[in-house]
Amino acid sequence: MAENILEVRNLKKYFKTPRGMLHAVDDVSFTIEKGHTLGIVGESGCGKTTTGRCILRLVEPTSGEIFFEGKDIMKLNRSEMKHLRKDMQIIFQDPFSSLDPRYTINQTLSETLRINKIRSGKKAIEDRVLELMETVGLAERLINTYPHELDGGRRQRIGIARALAMEPKFIVCDEPVSALDVSIQAQILNLLEDLQEKLGLSYIFITHDLAVVNHFADEIAVMYLGQIVEKAPTAELFENPLHPYTQALLSAIPIPEVLDERPQTILSGEISSPIEPKDECRFSKRCRFSGDRCKECGPKLVEVKPGHFVACGRLGEL
Amino acid sequence: MEEKKKNEMPQDEIALELKNLRVKFVLEQETVHAVNGIDITLKKGHTLGLAGETGAGKTTTALSLLRLVPHPGKVECDKLEVAGKDVLSMSAKELQKFRGSDLAMIFQDPMTSLNPVFTVGQQIADTIMLHNPTTKEDAFKQAEKMLELVGIPAARAVEYPHQFSGGMKQRVVIAIALACNPGVLIADEPTTALDVTIQAQVLAMMKKLRDERGMSMIMITHDLGIIADVCDEVAIMYAGRIVEYGTLRDVFNHTKHPYTEGLFNSLPNIRNRDERLKPIPGLMPDPSKLPKGCAFAPRCQYATEACRNKKPQERMVSDTHMVACTAYDDPAFRINRPEKGGNNG
Amino acid sequence: MSRKKEVRGSEELLVSKKYVRQSQIRIILHNLRKNKGAMIGLAIIVLLVLVSCFADVLFDYDTEIAGLDISQKLIRPCKEHIFGTDDLGRDIFKRVLYGARYSLGVGFAATMIGMVIGVIFGAIAGYYCGLAEDIIMRLNDVLSAVPSILMGIVIVSALGASTFNLMLAIGITSVPQFVRITRAAVLSVRNQEYVEALKATGMSEARIIAFHVIPNCMSPIIVQITLRIASAIIATSSLSFLGLGVPVPAPEWGSMLNLGRSYVRTASYLTIFPGIAILITVLAFNLLGDGLRDALDPKLRK
């Protein structure tokens, strides 16, 4: 069996709000094998971004355990964490706000290299900056340009280069392409794929776009209101989605082909509030199969096939 | 989707006609050519999809139809008729009446297109009263009806926009746009800010309302999936021009333009996940420095010397299918994307 | 690493030197140049600064500025004394020019004191929410509830009238403005993703605040500085007018106004010219401030 690079157990993150506790991430567990990609899919407010931030401890989890290469990072102190940050990096969604507008590409990258003592000496740092730029496909002449002079795709490349500067083993990609145009989106996806192959990286790929995650991930976890409702290898999930929410998500993808009929399960209603949720299936209000049992207690993730987990109270009946 | 009768096209069948629209923004240092000669003919009850990437000129085109291009934009146009009315000669007053009652628009961001200090019912009622002489009470009753039409309980008419979720707000925006029963609705990326499941809800509702009211629609989007779902006809825009125009089948199954092909290749294929994406290399040209020849030539894998030097001519490859590509001067030219089944064109 | 290097002579040139980056100051100056009012303001300020710097070279303080000559008293403006002379026979034109150094000096120094204190506390309040923010902002509210002239009078009376105490008094009264503006700017920058990205690269919070947050908040602060200098100049003159500012016989504009007060009816030029000097200087700073606000606004940049 392949080695796990990351293991998350019972991760919880609650935020205090004036109206009560907001359960942003509620008891989430998963593992990622070295060199693999886990896709986390869900709609806005389902806690996918918070999950990504918690793993890097950019947001302190309320409870839970996170093992990175066997070490429990929740137990690390500040300086040990700083050391570990080199191995774990993040790429952000918005290439406009994720770069300091007053820093050129060169300044952004060389600062990262210098502060973390990854390279020292002017020459070595500059060589590395140029090497990073080449890796992510930025032309040498752009070295002294500011972010506002560049388009979204190039800015996202700088974001990737900054993450790579730390020489990480694992990267959280938080919607890295959703702010980009389709033709640029494909360029960035291919780049991320090549980097994974070349550098043996492991990814968490957070997105709302199922078509992208289908292309990119080895395994997919579908989140709904802070919980994982279904988790399976990508091909299995697309061929045999078991949770009603996953089914609705899949049928909602607009397929760019001329089809005579589009089988669509259109959900009624909207995501309910994640503040102080009751102990019931959180999807039951929108679910067309919802029954009495769904209202009684929240379903647990059950392994229905090797590697395929579903949390649905009426699984056996449907 | 039913087959259209395309050959006869009497005058009263046309909802909107636009000829040779050009929009430029003259700035201090440069002139940005946002739209460079666009023709659109929209039949009654049909939906046209305007597809393209950021900066292709989609939104500017839509704003020109309403004559709402912001300063310092300069609009030139040979003909613009909506529901048989000549929009170009309208006075400011006539324009106000025209906007909303003949032609309405839905903007991309539902969060900012509603006024936070009025209830949603009031906002719909205001639009109704603007165009119809009714009492306040009547208008509010009509507003409640509109809300039910877009799937929001009438009781919520007294609530404020911040009490609604994103999907609900977009429904309210749609209700406002439809309040005066416009003949043509322009929807500018109406679902981009929404989640997929909510997007599916909103699109299904829009399709239903369109069919019920026999409305014509212009759907602006970057998502070819939405186009395939909603539209009858498609115009692919690049750098301010329409590069390919035709029925949905023409453009999707008998793709002719290399840019359209590139767009399709950039999309991850949901049925074949191992296929590597084939992105279009390079970037959209700077609209203030458009290349001399075809604007797409620098990114085009088929580009020849002729493409770089000569502006492409519009060419009809069938009754309904137009493509603007110089490469088709050579009758043997074919793009790599295979034609799909169905017999059209 | 097989990187191509530009070789010039025997020296290796760093590639990053080859591609010149656009200086941000140059962009701002370019934008500012389009604004006529701001350029006039800037020109006046430059002139005043030059006069202040070389005042001692131009005039001899003991004889020309402070020295009395009763025989020359209260001469109306004429060729020899274009602004006339005061009741002690001193040339008003020279005194007004010399006085620029007090107004500018005190105005500038006081604003700097206020800015440094205000930005530090404002940044802390904006970056770390919670208790620190509450304490700083409530204290700030208390400070701004006291009328600034009253505050100045209290501080100067307590510490004694001297130029330094005057700077301190005016500086402290301008702290609340800076705290508020900095906090607002920091709040919006703090939530930008790049701050989080820097945290993810293991950078310390102090470094993030000093090198990435504050520099991005500079535009409103710079605008505020120019506008605050203008009001500090007014405050300086007001306190001097009350006899609490720069001690006599220094030709501070406010104290010149005070001296001319008793002659307003007979020799109005004693008050008119220092008054005009204050007006022009304050106007110049306000014009520059408005111009800078536009020039620094990223929305107006292409």
Q: Per-residue confidence of chain B (345 residues) as pLDDT tens digits?
A: 344 444 445 556 889 999 999 999 988 778 889 999 999 999 999 999 999 888 888 989 999 998 888 888 899 999 999 888 898 888 988 888 888 888 999 988 777 888 989 999 999 999 899 888 889 999 999 999 989 888 888 888 999 998 888 888 888 999 998 888 899 999 998 888 788 888 888 899 899 989 998 899 999 998 999 999 999 999 999 999 999 999 999 999 999 999 999 999 998 888 887 888 888 988 888 888 888 899 999 999 999 999 999 999 999 999 999 999 999 988 888 898 888 765 443
With respect to residue A131, please indicate whether it lies within any of the assigned structural domains. Answer: no
A147 touches chain C (CB under 8 A): no
CATH number at residue C153: 1.10.3720.10
With respect to residue C125, please indicate whether it lies within any of the assigned structural domains. Answer: yes
Ranking A193-207, B41-55, B159-173, C54-68 by mean pLDDT, the lowest is C54-68
CA distance B237 to B245: 9
- Torsion sign across C-alpha atoms A187, A189, A190, A195: positive
- More confident: C45 or A277: C45
Contact C298 A130 (CB under 8 A): no
For A121, which DSSP code? S
Backbone φ/ψ region at B180: left (φ over 0), alpha (ψ -120 to 50), beta: alpha
Contact A130 C3 (CB under 8 A): yes
Contact A259 B342 (CB under 8 A): no
Q: Which residues contact A215 (CB under 8 A, 6 or more apart)?
A: A189, B268, B269, B273, B275, B277
Ranking C42-56, C70-84, C110-124 by mean pLDDT, the lowest is C70-84
Contact A235 B229 (CB under 8 A): no
Interface probe with B: pick from A154, A178, A192, A215, most Cβ of B within 10 Å: A215
Distance from CA of A246 to the nearest CA of C (A): 30
Interface probe with A: pick from B269, B277, B280, B344, most Cβ of A within 10 Å: B277
pLDDT digits (tens, 9 = 90+) for C288-298: 998 888 887 65
Interface probe with A: pick from C4, C193, C208, C217, most Cβ of A within 10 Å: C193
Nearest to A46 by CA among A290, A299, A288, A246: A246
With respect to residue A248, please indicate whether it lies within any of the assigned structural domains. Answer: yes
Q: Is the pLDDT reported for residue A261 higher than 80?
A: no
Domain carrying residue C282: 28-296
Distance from CA of C147 to the nearest CA of A (A): 36
Q: Which residues contact C143 (CB under 8 A, 6 or more apart)?
A: C151, C172, C175, C176
With respect to residue C7, please indicate whether it lies within any of the assigned structural domains. Answer: no
Contact A144 C16 (CB under 8 A): yes
- Percent pLDDT > 70 in chain C is 90
Q: A98 contacts in C (CB within 8 Å)?
A: 192-194, 196-197
pLDDT digits (tens, 9 = 90+) for A47-88: 899 999 999 988 899 999 999 998 898 888 888 888 888 899
With respect to residue C12, please indicate whether it lies within any of the assigned structural domains. Answer: no
Domain carrying residue A262: 4-87+197-310
How many CB atoms sit inside 10 A of residue B119's CB?
Answer: 18
Q: Which residues contact C19 (CB under 8 A, 6 or more apart)?
A: A140, A141, A142, A143, A144
Interface probe with C: pick from A100, A113, A129, A206, most Cβ of C within 10 Å: A100
Domain carrying residue B81: 13-113+186-198+214-298+316-329
pLDDT digits (tens, 9 = 90+) for A21-37: 899 999 999 999 999 99
Residue of A nearest to B200 (CA): A252
Contact C197 A98 (CB under 8 A): yes
Contact A58 C196 (CB under 8 A): yes
Q: What is the mean pLDDT of chain C?
A: 85
Q: Is the pLDDT reported for residue A136 higher than 50?
A: yes
Contact A97 C203 (CB under 8 A): no
CB of A141 within 8 A of CB of C19? yes
CA distance A266 to B197: 7
Contact A183 B270 (CB under 8 A): no
CB of A239 within 8 A of CB of B270? no
Residue C48: what pLDDT?
Answer: 93
CA distance B171 to B203: 10
Domain count, chain A: 1
Contact A98 C194 (CB under 8 A): yes
Those residues of chain A whose CB sits closer than 8 Å to some CB in chain B are: 43-44, 151-153, 181-187, 189-190, 193, 208-212, 214-216, 234-235, 238, 248-249, 251-260, 262, 264, 266-268, 270-271
Spell out where chain B has E strands. Answer: 14-26, 31-43, 47-51, 73-76, 79-82, 85-86, 103-106, 184-188, 216-221, 233-238, 241-247, 314-316, 322-324
Three-class secondary structure of residue B59 per DSSP: helix
Nearest to B318 by CA among B267, B246, B268, B255: B246
Contact A151 B283 (CB under 8 A): yes
How many CB atoms sit inside 10 A of residue A289's CB?
Answer: 14
Residue B343: what pLDDT?
Answer: 45
Distance from CA of C77 to the nearest CA of A (A): 53
A115 touches chain C (CB under 8 A): yes
Q: Is the pLDDT reported for residue A291 higher than 70?
A: yes
Three-class secondary structure of residue A96 per DSSP: coil
With respect to residue B142, please indicate whether it lies within any of the assigned structural domains. Answer: no
Q: Is the pLDDT reported for residue A14 higher than 80?
A: yes
Contact C19 A101 (CB under 8 A): no
Residue of A nearest to C298 (CA): A148
Q: C301 contacts in A (CB within 8 Å)?
A: 148
With respect to residue A189, please indicate whether it lies within any of the assigned structural domains. Answer: no
Domain count, chain C: 1
Three-class secondary structure of residue B233 per DSSP: strand
In this prediction the ipTM stands at 0.84
CA distance B138 to C20: 66
CA distance C90 to C111: 31
Residue B250: what pLDDT?
Answer: 93
Domain count, chain B: 1
With respect to residue C2, please indicate whether it lies within any of the assigned structural domains. Answer: no
CA distance B80 to B64: 10
Contact C216 A116 (CB under 8 A): no
Contact A126 C200 (CB under 8 A): no
CB of A237 within 8 A of CB of A246? yes
How many CB atoms sit inside 10 A of residue B248's CB?
Answer: 21
With respect to residue A130, please indicate whether it lies within any of the assigned structural domains. Answer: no
- The whole-angstrom distance between residue A96's C-alpha and the CA centroid of its chain comes to 19
- Tokens in use for B84? 């048989």
Q: Is the pLDDT reported for residue C205 higher than 60?
A: yes
Mean pLDDT of all residues in A219-230:
93
CATH number at residue A24: 3.40.50.300
CB of B111 within 8 A of CB of B172? no
With respect to residue B5, please indicate whether it lies within any of the assigned structural domains. Answer: no
Q: Is the pLDDT reported for residue C148 higher than 70?
A: yes
With respect to residue B119, please indicate whether it lies within any of the assigned structural domains. Answer: no
For C91, which DSSP code? B
A56 touches chain C (CB under 8 A): yes
Helix (DSSP H) and strand (DSSP E) numbers for chain C? 13, 2
Q: Between A252, A258, A268, which is nearest B252 by CB?
A: A258
Q: Is the pLDDT reported for residue C5 higher than 70?
A: no
- Torsion sign across C-alpha atoms C136, C138, C142, C147: positive
Q: Is the pLDDT reported for residue C229 higher than 90?
A: yes
Q: A86 contacts in C (CB within 8 Å)?
A: 202
CATH number at residue B278: 3.40.50.300
With respect to residue C13, please indicate whether it lies within any of the assigned structural domains. Answer: no
Those residues of chain C whose CB sits closer than 8 Å to some CB in chain A are: 1, 3, 12, 14-16, 19-22, 24, 192-194, 196-203, 207, 212, 215-216, 298, 301
Contact B204 A254 (CB under 8 A): no
Distance from CA of A101 to the nearest CA of C (A): 8
